[in-house]
Amino acid sequence: MSRLTARLLISCPDGSGIIAAVAGFVADHSGNILEADQHSDPRHGEFYMRVEIDCAGFALAEDSFAEAWAPIAARFDMRWRVYWGDHAKRMAIFVTRESHCLSDLLWRWRTGELRVQIPLVISNHDELREIVESCSVPFHHVPISGEGKTGQETHVLSLLRDANVDFLVLARYMQVLTPTFVRTYLDRIINIHHSFLPAFAGPKPYHQAYERGVKIIGATSHYVTDDLDQGPIIAQDTLAVDHRDTVEDLVRKGRDLERVVLARAVRYHVEDKILVSNNKTVVFK
Amino acid sequence: MSRLTARLLISCPDGSGIIAAVAGFVADHSGNILEADQHSDPRHGEFYMRVEIDCAGFALAEDSFAEAWAPIAARFDMRWRVYWGDHAKRMAIFVTRESHCLSDLLWRWRTGELRVQIPLVISNHDELREIVESCSVPFHHVPISGEGKTGQETHVLSLLRDANVDFLVLARYMQVLTPTFVRTYLDRIINIHHSFLPAFAGPKPYHQAYERGVKIIGATSHYVTDDLDQGPIIAQDTLAVDHRDTVEDLVRKGRDLERVVLARAVRYHVEDKILVSNNKTVVFK
Amino acid sequence: MSRLTARLLISCPDGSGIIAAVAGFVADHSGNILEADQHSDPRHGEFYMRVEIDCAGFALAEDSFAEAWAPIAARFDMRWRVYWGDHAKRMAIFVTRESHCLSDLLWRWRTGELRVQIPLVISNHDELREIVESCSVPFHHVPISGEGKTGQETHVLSLLRDANVDFLVLARYMQVLTPTFVRTYLDRIINIHHSFLPAFAGPKPYHQAYERGVKIIGATSHYVTDDLDQGPIIAQDTLAVDHRDTVEDLVRKGRDLERVVLARAVRYHVEDKILVSNNKTVVFK
Amino acid sequence: MSRLTARLLISCPDGSGIIAAVAGFVADHSGNILEADQHSDPRHGEFYMRVEIDCAGFALAEDSFAEAWAPIAARFDMRWRVYWGDHAKRMAIFVTRESHCLSDLLWRWRTGELRVQIPLVISNHDELREIVESCSVPFHHVPISGEGKTGQETHVLSLLRDANVDFLVLARYMQVLTPTFVRTYLDRIINIHHSFLPAFAGPKPYHQAYERGVKIIGATSHYVTDDLDQGPIIAQDTLAVDHRDTVEDLVRKGRDLERVVLARAVRYHVEDKILVSNNKTVVFK
């Protein structure tokens, strides 16, 4: 990521000649393709592509790209986005009381592993203020007061707008967002759920896992939709456990899984490697 | 497993002095403990123990053990079983049309890795007859005919009785067993389900997994109970997949997982390493 | 793999416009690209590409491709090969006494999972004859006799030539091949080594692993070169073990790993997904 | 770990009646065994045992245990240690410039997951001072000056003595310790090496892994001995990589592995679950 790149993400009906057209377009504008990935979904007849172009030498830039690109986009009926490499995405983190995912994201950000800006952290509780402020990141305690969730969300949304946020990470945020909120940041809210979804959706998944006597536990990172824990899955991982593990052991072991799975999903999002379609993700690793 | 051993499995209310009493009993009868494992479940106040005793030098044998042991069993209110090492368990395999788990179990049996006898294989279809008979194992095709499932099960149960079977393995047997059948072989019917339960219970789990867009698939081996795919889990494992995997790819990759997970569960059962309680297993690996 | 495809594998010095040229060439000849993967190795300045083209509609075929393609190959200084989909590769299996990898490959071949022909199995011992012949595959026992390895290899090479073999799988073949032999089938001999190379190269890796007290064991599949266990790695996997595992347990657990890792490597080779360069592999999964 | 326990670790020549004697001893002193694990190593004829005793009700305590226990220890020729639960071990952390393992250990300590005291952090560089001091832990910069390593180690040893340290963690400390130093804290210095040992011992393992083209990377935590990277292995884990991963990617992915593997090893040590013998570990998980 040291050199500047443009990342072009494309979805369109599957067909012939798409790769040739895209690669030809880049070549015609003196661009060098650093990475190209594509995927055809025969079930839905859809085609997905990600092209990473070296900005050095590329004849197009943020202000001239759209016009030059329009004929190809029209010809193949493409939905497309392009991200330019000099912009570090602005990430808001939402937390409640658990610190492990938050601390992990802050650590990755401070060491430069995760190339983002963190304009603010929002919480419905005040416990994690110190961790956040010790990193010189603004912490906003927005409790759910008498006026209920709507009032709180209105406040939160205005904070996000003011901070010009690109995407949200729910780092163990124990609140369900309203459909209005979700729509505002569709495919831009990343949640971590502490089970291998679709198993153990809903509250207390480690307790559910303990009661069921599973021999593996898991963690799932997904985009948030209106259906709780049903959004498009970005990343998952699992870990072996056995009868000796208490609920507390599952919680402890799960923390290591959660923070790694969440960080992986955030990284894919930040590097513009994810396309969402039909409630599933295409992740060009 | 080359030397003869007795495996003693114990469950009882938790309390002090149980290990001392058991180990003292073995020592008093000149026995040498080769392995001892125990587990306390604080939630249910239960204690579980497995002791493997070298038969060489042990003053007790199959006909004298129960009487000598009775006072200790009574003192701690134990449920217990003991298995003697010169008996290779008699395993019936149930199949439908898929061969991978069957072939794998037969291969492990032929090479001596799995120390069992296989008196018969039962199927509701005739496709796998050749694989079975080429190993000189009797194959019984018991279709579900006009008289329905009850008639078929009556026939199957009489075959199992005649063959003096110790336990059953459903190696991708696509039929639900009746409660009567399950009760007859309670905690002795091992099934392999092709998902990481409790996710994707029921039919076509790979199709369900594909539709949900999961990034891991799994396999689960469990004892069969009256509740479909809800019995005590013995072994589970998972495998990473991604958007490029079609349903057919999941099926193919899953086969490797299923046969290994099933073989692991069968091995634990054969070596008397499993205790069942509260719809969960304690597996002393 | 149900439809016929052509797989084009390319290596060349890295540069601009390669993808556009390749994709344009395919489009110009009415071809539809089903999959395209590419990789740039900045360290060596090399570019690798794999393109899978639907043969239906493609204006070129086995006899006309090379001439049409020549100008592009020349322009970018490409090494390239193309494989046509109606040819199932001819695979020779080499074994000694261990049956697990052999049985596994035969099973995958019989069920159609692995799309190859198996014209012969060669062994320096006679133990596995029955397994092979029961599948109606010719078994050749070619022992290392008084005249030594050279005589044996001469015999083996003539068998392979007569059988018109495309590639070789050493499925636990306990003999070192001579440089002459290796050169004849360079990048076409796949070996399975029972350790996570480069750890425990050479003989008895499980004994070495046991002595070292590792907490994981592994298996490695690689192309054979003149340096023992030093060839380009195709696939690897690992498994957790602990202090309770004897050498025999490692051997047993390792078998499950070996056959899966070997099968994976063979599959990649059969589907023309591997490029070899600088003693490493690019595997376009 | 909420209730106070005594952990008794035993090694002795294998024989009959050991478990009965130990369990009987505990019962005779009104102790309740919470966990008991044992292992026989037939290769070396050794027996290992760990017993965790609930201190509540136990008639013995730190000052009276040794005398009461002496006859049993003598009878079976035992090496043994006992750890009492009200003492949180004092852990010194050694670092150089990499922060990930340090930050991770500090985080586990602050949240109470890891029950230790951290009286000091020692480094041959000054970079990580702020991270450490922000947690109110003393940071000692002890560079290797003109007088060489011996002078530095003398200084370090006196710091450790003054701080009354129980064990040391080399959290990516890039210095080799002298035999004198190692002997002082034998089996009490835990190192993390960034490869799956014995592969890629020595410097720059990720570079070595990249050059070799492995498909998995790993991390190994072990006790330090005089032979570099050859000490008894406590914990290992691995992760899949492929041709797209640069050295930088391996370093990044490896960090997540290293901190988890190191934390696991430290936890085992802190909970007195490790016995060392014949340059291997028995870890009673």
Instruction: Write down the H helix ranges in A76-147.
Output: 100-110, 129-133
Q: pLDDT value at position A237?
A: 98
Q: pLDDT value at position D42?
A: 84
The residue whose two tokens read 């595992």 is: C245
Task: Read off the tokens for D33.
Answer: 């065994």
Q: Is residue D77 flagged as an active site residue?
A: no
Assess whether pLDDT exceeds 70 at residue A103.
Answer: yes
CB contact under 8 A, C243 and D281: yes
Average pLDDT over residues B37-64: 93
pLDDT: which is higher, B2 or A282: A282
Q: Tell me phi and psi for residue A44, to 5 degrees.
A: -105, 5
DSSP symbols for B40-109: EETTTTEEEEEEEEESTT-S--TTTHHHHHHHHHHHTT-EEEEEETT--EEEEEEESS--HHHHHHHHHH
Of B28, B74, B19, B73, give the one whose Cα is nearest residue B50. Answer: B19
Please list, residue by residue across A164-186, b when 16 or more beta carbons sit within 10 angstroms of its beta carbon and e when fewer do.
Answer: ebbbbbbbbbeeebeeebbebbe
Q: What is the pLDDT of residues A180-229, one digit of tens each?
A: 999 999 999 999 999 999 999 999 999 999 999 999 999 999 999 999 99
Q: What is the pLDDT of residues C43-102, one digit of tens each?
A: 899 999 999 999 999 999 999 999 999 999 999 999 999 999 878 999 999 999 999 999
CB contact under 8 A, A111 and D100: yes
Q: pLDDT value at position B97?
A: 96
Angle between the N-to-C axes of helices B100-110 and B247-270, in degrees from 0 to 180, rounded to the nearest 10: 40
The H or E element that residue C205 is part of is helix C205-212
Assess whether pLDDT exceeds 60 at residue C2.
Answer: no
Q: pLDDT value at position D86?
A: 77
Angle between the N-to-C axes of helices D247-270 and D205-212, in degrees from 0 to 180, rounded to the nearest 10: 130
Kindly name the residue from C104, C166, C187, C229 that is annotated as catalytic. Answer: C229
Min distance C232 CA to chain B CA atoms (Å): 24
Task: Read off the tokens for B94.
Answer: 């149930």
Would you call A187 helix, strand, or coil by DSSP?
coil
Residue pair B33/B113 in contact (Cβ under 8 Å)? The answer is no
Torsion of CA C144, C145, C150, C155, to 10 degrees: -80
C56, with CB counted inside 10 A (0-12, 13-18, 19+), is: exposed
Residue pair B169/B92 in contact (Cβ under 8 Å)? The answer is yes
Residue C133: alpha-carbon gap to chain centroid = 24
Q: Tell me phi and psi for residue A213, to 5 degrees.
A: 75, 35
CB contact under 8 A, C99 and B113: no
Q: What is the pLDDT of residues B161-201, one digit of tens each?
A: 999 999 999 999 999 999 999 999 999 999 999 999 999 99
Q: pLDDT value at position A1?
A: 42
CB contact under 8 A, C214 and D235: no
Q: What percent of chain A has pLDDT over 90?
A: 92
Of B55, B60, B58, B62, give the one whose Cα is nearest residue B3. Answer: B55
Distance separating alpha carbons of residues B9 and A283, to the nearest angstrom? 48
Average pLDDT over residues C175-179: 93
Task: Read off the tokens for D73.
Answer: 């220890």
CATH of D89-283, one of 3.40.50.720, 3.40.50.170, 3.90.78.10, 3.40.50.2300: 3.40.50.170
Q: pLDDT value at position D145?
A: 77
Task: Read off the tokens for C186.
Answer: 């360079």
Task: Read off the tokens for A170.
Answer: 């729910």
Q: pLDDT value at position A147?
A: 66
Min distance A227 CA to chain D CA atoms (Å): 31
C191, with CB counted inside 10 A (0-12, 13-18, 19+), is: buried
Q: pLDDT value at position C1?
A: 42
Q: For chains B and D, what is the number of CB pairs under 8 angstroms? A: 47
CB contact under 8 A, A99 and D113: no
Would you call C226 helix, strand, or coil by DSSP?
coil
Q: Which residues contact B169 (CB under 8 A, 6 or more apart)?
A: B91, B92, B93, B94, B105, B189, B190, B262, B266
Average pLDDT over residues B56-79: 96
Q: pLDDT value at position C147?
A: 66
Q: Which CATH code for domain C5-84?
A: 3.30.70.260
Average pLDDT over residues B101-116: 96
Q: Which residues contact C42 (CB under 8 A, 6 or more apart)?
A: C14, D246
Distance separating alpha carbons of residues B205 and B195, to the nearest angstrom? 6
The residue whose two tokens read 């099934």 is: B191
Kindly name the residue from D187, D229, D245, D272 that is annotated as catalytic. Answer: D229
- Look over chain A and give the mean of its residue pLDDT values, rounded to a whole number: 95
Q: pLDDT value at position B235?
A: 98
Q: Give all strands of the β-sheet with C46-54 in edge-to-edge order.
A: C32-41, C46-54, C5-13, C79-84
Q: What is the pLDDT of residues A71-93, one digit of tens each?
A: 999 999 999 999 998 789 999 99
Domain boundaries, chain D: 5-84, 89-283
Residue C88: alpha-carbon gap to chain centroid = 14
| Residue A97: count of CB within 10 angstroms of its CB | 13
Distance separating alpha carbons of residues D144 and A199, to the nearest angstrom? 54
Band (A2; pLDDT cuts 50, 70, 90): low
Q: pLDDT value at position D2?
A: 56
Task: Read off the tokens for D32.
Answer: 């309740």
Average pLDDT over residues C152-179: 96
Report the 3 state secondary structure along B203-219. CCHHHHHHHHCCCEEEE
Residue pair D121/D132 in contact (Cβ under 8 Å)? The answer is yes
Angle between the N-to-C axes of helices A247-270 and D247-270, in degrees from 0 to 180, rounded to the nearest 10: 170
Chain D interface, Cβ < 8 Å to A: 99-100, 103, 107, 111, 113, 134, 244, 252, 255-256, 260, 263, 285
Query: Which chains border A (3 or more CB–CB pairs < 8 Å)?
Result: B, C, D
Q: pLDDT value at position B2?
A: 56
Total-model pTM: 0.96
Q: pLDDT value at position B259?
A: 97
Cβ-based contacts of D285 with chain C (< 8 Å): 242
Cβ-based contacts of B281 with chain A (< 8 Å): 213, 243
Average pLDDT over residues C170-190: 96
Min distance D224 CA to chain C CA atoms (Å): 14
Q: How far apart are the first and last CA of chain C?
A: 14
Q: How far apart are the first and last CA of chain B?
A: 14
Band (B147; pLDDT cuts 50, 70, 90): low
pLDDT in tens, chain D (285 residues): 457 999 999 999 999 899 999 999 999 999 999 999 999 998 899 999 999 999 999 999 999 999 999 999 999 999 999 999 878 999 999 999 999 999 999 999 999 999 999 999 999 999 999 999 999 999 999 998 766 788 899 999 999 999 999 999 999 999 999 999 999 999 999 999 999 999 999 999 999 999 999 999 999 999 999 999 999 999 999 999 999 999 999 999 999 999 999 999 999 999 999 999 999 999 998
Assess whether pLDDT exceeds 60 at residue B126.
Answer: yes
Of D184, D17, D156, give the one whose Cα is nearest residue D95. Answer: D156
Cα nearest neighbour of D252 on chain A: A113
